[in-house]
Amino acid sequence: MVPDLRDDVPTEEVQLPDGRTLAYVEYGDPDDTPVFFCHGTPGSRISGQLGRDAKADVGARVIAPDRPGFGASDRQPGRGFADWAADVAALADDLDIEEYAVVGFSGGGPYALACAAHNPERVTGCAVVSGIGPPGSARGDLGFERALASASRVSPQFGRPLVWLMARTVASADSFTDVVGEPDTDLADPRRGESGRVLLADFREGLRQGTTPLATDYSVLYGAWDFDLADVTVPTRVFHGKVDTNVPVAAGERVASAVPDADLTVYEAAGHFRPIVEEARDVFGWAVGHEESASGG
């Protein structure tokens, strides 16, 4: 069994105005530019450490909270995107941060967009990496994901049996590729090595509280959104791999075309995980204001 990295994460907690606990981790220099990271689905604060050196090099202070019910954050029944935007703003208040950028990966992409839509006066920029698109967007070719999304959209309770199957796979995995599959040829694929160990620990932490939180996340992501992409008025950049089979690049193209002030960077040979790992310098460099770094390729 692969070593579990979760015990090495220096987790902090904040009590939110409604009494819930929100868990988070900070990576980087406290004097650098604050960037709130919205993890994937499933996922947790642990994935905030992916590309850690690159983030430090561009001057990003990365703050990675667990969404409600994931990792060590309390659950929040009936939550939506606006609730997450409020949680991030409350955490920023507790840390004495007035303005901040947001970065969302995969299932965290819409949550980053929600922060920008609901708190435009505080969000300086929004980066969406391999992000899920709005209802009606192109979907990946992963049948299990499609079934889980469809069931959870009706009710989180319908999605729980499928989440249970996923949790069993994650718990018994010896490597991250046991969960998401082996790459065809690329030995440098982020699913392997240290990044793979981080991602496996991230999935395990994301499933710590059982089946309901993940099914709830799917119901939020694939149900009706509580904001329009046209409401995202802050500078936005979409980063996507052209050969992403989890979330097709067409989903990223739709977001980039619908957000008024958005640009698109497509990595020709990248799949789902490479942009958040191998292109972290581009992503977080853009988020803290170094727009010239996001050149694609």
Query: Is 0.85 surpassed by the pTM of this model?
Result: yes
Please report whether residue 170 resides in a domain: no
- Cis amide leading into 42 (omega within 30): yes
How far is Cα 282 from Cα 28, in angstroms, rounded to an integer?
16
Please report whether residue 189 resides in a domain: no
* CATH code, domain carrying 123: 3.40.50.1820
Please report whether residue 179 resides in a domain: no
Please report whether residue 238 resides in a domain: yes
Write the CB contacts of 174 (distance below 8 Å, at least 6 apart in sequence).
1, 2
Please report whether residue 235 resides in a domain: yes
Count structural domains, the chain: 1
Please report whether residue 281 resides in a domain: yes
Tokens of 273: 């995980």
Write the CB contacts of 260 (distance below 8 Å, at least 6 apart in sequence).
230, 232, 233
The parts of the chain modelled with pLDDT lower than 70 are: 1-8, 140-144, 154, 184-188, 290-297
DSSP string spanning 100-118? EEEEEEGGGHHHHHHHHHH
Q: What is the pLDDT of residue 141?
A: 57
Crossing angle (nearest 10°) for helices 143-154 and 212-222 = 90
Please report whether residue 207 resides in a domain: no
Q: Percent helix, strand, coil in the chain (nearest 5)? A: 45, 15, 40
Please report whether residue 174 resides in a domain: no
Note down the domain range covering 80.
Answer: 6-138+225-293
Residue 35: which of 20, 16, 52 has the closest Cα? 52
Tokens of 36: 């709130």
Residue 124, SS3?
A: strand
DSSP string spanning 18-74? TS-EEEEEEES-TTSEEEEEE--SS--GGGGGTTHHHHHHTTEEEEEEPPTTSTTSP
